[in-house]
C-alpha cells in the first residue's frame, strides 16, 4: 500500500473510537470529487449480528434478535468464518453538512430498493462522516464494455433500470448516472447503483420552466418575448432574472435540459445519462462525449441531432440555439450511422444486424431531446429490448 494511502487509512482508523475493533481496512478502492472509499472487513459480523432493523409498521428501529447457537451436531467440523466486506465511504470534510445529510437521508429512503446499494450505518466524529455500505464486487467498466453482446447489454441495462425505476418511484433524481456509479459484476451479471451525493428530490429547487406548459401557452410566451427590442438577437434591456438551474452531474452525461438550464428538471435527466452509457457501449467509445464545458457539450449533441432539432429542444425551455459551426448540419446523423462509423463497419456494412437495431430503437427512446417524450424507467422495463435479455 502506498505511503500516503496508508497514512490516510491510519488517520481514519484513529479518528473513530473503536474503529479498529469493528473494521479492518484493506485498501482504497475509490477516490472521487467528494469522497474516498475503502474496502474493509466487518469484524463484528457473524460474531454477533449487530444490525438494527427498521420496522415499517411501528416506524421504529428494532434491535437485532438474540442469536442462539446450536450445539447439537457433534460431527460438525469447525467452519471458517466467511469474512464480510464493507465499503467505507469517507465523505470529505469540505462537503456541507446539508449535503452529507441529504445523501444519507436519500440512501435511507431507498434502503429497500432492488439494485440500489443499501446503507448499513453511518458514523460521525467531529467533522468527519463515514458511510458503511455492503461491499459489492464489480469490474471496471472500461474492461468489459467493448466485449458486451447485445444480450449482455440488455441484462446490464435491465439491472440499471430496475434501480432507477425504484429511485424515480421515490421521486428522487440521481443526477450522476455514469459507469463508475453503477457497480456491475459481469460474472454474476448483477449490478448496484451507488453514489447519491448529488441526488435530490424532484421539484426541490423548482421554478416554473416553459417546458411544463402546453404547446400553445409556450408559443404565446415566446412570441411575447420576441417582440421586445433586440440588439443582435439579445433584448436591449434584458430585464429577465439570470437563469439559475441545478447543473450538478458529470460532463458528457448531462441531459440537454440541464445544459439549457431548465428550472424544472425531472427524473428524465437520469434516463438521458443511461442513453449516453448505451451509446458508449454500442459505439465502443469511452468517453463518447468529451466536452470541457456546457457549450461544447451542446455542440456535441447538436452535431448528432442537427441544428433544427436542437433549436426545438432549446425553445422548449425558452432558449435560442444559434450556431455557425460548419460541422453542425441541419439534420444531423442517425445513431445507426454513428455506430457503424465508430465501430469501423461503415465500409463493409450498410445497416446494423437485427439485434443491434433493436438496441438502437431503445437508444432513441432514451436519448430523446424532449424530456417529456423520453422513455421513463418504468416504461423501459417493458420495452422489447429489456425483455430480450430475459429470454
Ligand atoms: P464519489 O461520490 O466519491 O464518486 P462513490 O459512492 O461513487 O463516491 O464511490 C466511489 C467509488 O468507490 C465507486 O466508483 C466504486 O468504485 C467504489 N465503491 C463505492 N461504493 C462501493 C461498494 N458498496 N462496493 C464496492 N465498491 C464501492
Ligand atoms: Mg461516484
CA distance 207 to 337: 39
Contacts of 128 (CB under 8 A, 6+ apart): 12, 15, 16, 90, 91, 93
SS3 category, 113: coil
Q: What is the pLDDT of residue 78?
A: 43
Q: Nine-digit cell at 259?
A: 445544459
CA distance 9 to 11: 5
Q: Which residues of the chain have pLDDT under 70?
A: 1, 45-82, 225-236, 238, 240-241
CA distance 88 to 71: 35
pTM, full prediction: 0.89
Spacing, Cα 181 to ligand 2 middle (Å):
5
133 C-beta neighbours (distance < 10 Å), count = 19
pLDDT tens figures, 164-186? 999 999 999 999 999 999 999 99
Q: What secondary structure letter does DSSP report for 237? A: S
pLDDT tens figures, 29-78? 999 889 999 999 999 865 445 556 656 666 666 665 554 445 555 544 44
State whether ipTM is beyond 0.90: yes
181 lines ligand 1 (CB under 6 A): yes
List, by residue number, the catalytic residues.
176
Q: What is the pLDDT of residue 261?
A: 94
Q: What is the pLDDT of residue 173?
A: 98
Query: What mean pLDDT is reported for the chain?
Result: 90
Spacing, Cα 31 to ligand 1 middle (Å):
8
* Residue from 25, 28, 29 to probe ligand 1 pocket by mutation (most atoms less than 8 Å from CB): 29
Spacing, Cα 120 to ligand 2 middle (Å):
18
Among all bound ligands, the one having the nearest atom to the CA of 180 is 1
Burial level of 171, CB count in 10 A (0-12/13-18/19+)? middle
Q: What is the pLDDT of residue 218?
A: 86
Among all bound ligands, the one having the nearest atom to the CA of 192 is 1
Residue with cell 434502503: 111
* Residue from 31, 37, 40, 120 to probe ligand 1 pocket by mutation (most atoms less than 8 Å from CB): 37
For the chain, how many residues are written?
Answer: 391
Distance of CA 49 to the CA centre of its chain: 32
287 lines ligand 1 (CB under 6 A): no
Amino acid at each position: 500500500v502506498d505511503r500516503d494511502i496508508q497514512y490516510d487509512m491510519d488517520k481514519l482508523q484513529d479518528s473513530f473510537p473503536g474503529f479498529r475493533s469493528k473494521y479492518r481496512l484493506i485498501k482504497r478502492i475509490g477516490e472521487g470529487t467528494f469522497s474516498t472509499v475503502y474496502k474493509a472487513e466487518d469484524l463484528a459480523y457473524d460474531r454477533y449480528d449487530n444490525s438494527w432493523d427498521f420496522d415499517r409498521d411501528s416506524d421504529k428501529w428494532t434491535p437485532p434478535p438474540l442469536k442462539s447457537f446450536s450445539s447439537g451436531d457433534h460431527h460438525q467440523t469447525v467452519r471458517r468464518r466467511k469474512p464480510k466486506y464493507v465499503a467505507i465511504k469517507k465523505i470529505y470534510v469540505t462537503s456541507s453538512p446539508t449535503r452529507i445529510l441529504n445523501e444519507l437521508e436519500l440512501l435511507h429512503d431507498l434502503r429497500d430498493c432492488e439494485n440500489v446499494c443499501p446503507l448499513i450505518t453511518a458514523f460521525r466524529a467531529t467533522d468527519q462522516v463515514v458511510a458503511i455500505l455492503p461491499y459489492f464486487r464489480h469490474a471496471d467498466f472500461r474492461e468489459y464494455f467493448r466485449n458486451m453482446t447485445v444480450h449482455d447489454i440488455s441484462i446490464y441495462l435491465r439491472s440499471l433500470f430496475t434501480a432507477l425505476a425504484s429511485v424515480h418511484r421515490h421521486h428522487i433524481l440521481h443526477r450522476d448516472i455514469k459507469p463508475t456509479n453503477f457497480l456491475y459484476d459481469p460474472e454474476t451479471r448483477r449490478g448496484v447503483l451507488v453514489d447519491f451525493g448529488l441526488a435530490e428530490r424532484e421539484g426541490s429547487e423548482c421554478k416554473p420552466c416553459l417546458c411544463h406548459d402546453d404547446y400553445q401557452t409556450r408559443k404565446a410566451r415566446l412570441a411575447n418575448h420576441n417582440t421586445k427590442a433586440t440588439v443582435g438577437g439579445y433584448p436591449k434591456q434584458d430585464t429577465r432574472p439570470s437563469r439559475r438551474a441545478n447543473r450538478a452531474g458529470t460532463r458528457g452525461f448531462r441531459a440537454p435540459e440541464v445544459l439549457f438550464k431548465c428550472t424544472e428538471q425531472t427524473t428524465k435527466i437520469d434516463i438521458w445519462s443511461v442513453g449516453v452509457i448505451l451509446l458508449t457501449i454500442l459505439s465502443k467509445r469511452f468517453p463518447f462525449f468529451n466536452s470541457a464545458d456546457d457549450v461544447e457539450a451542446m455542440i456535441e449533441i447538436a452535431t448528432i441531432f442537427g441544428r433544427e432539432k436542437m433549436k426545438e429542444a432549446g425553445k422548449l425551455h425558452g432558449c435560442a440555439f444559434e450556431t455557425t459551426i460548419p460541422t453542425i448540419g441541419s439534420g444531423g446523423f442517425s445513431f445507426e450511422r454513428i455506430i457503424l462509423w465508430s465501430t469501423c463497419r461503415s465500409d463493409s456494412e450498410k445497416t446494423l444486424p437485427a439485434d443491434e437495431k433493436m438496441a438502437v430503437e431503445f437508444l432513441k427512446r432514451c436519448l430523446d431531446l424532449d424530456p417529456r417524450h423520453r422513455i421513463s424507467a418504468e416504461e423501459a422495463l417493458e420495452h422489447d429490448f429489456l425483455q430480450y435479455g430475459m429470454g
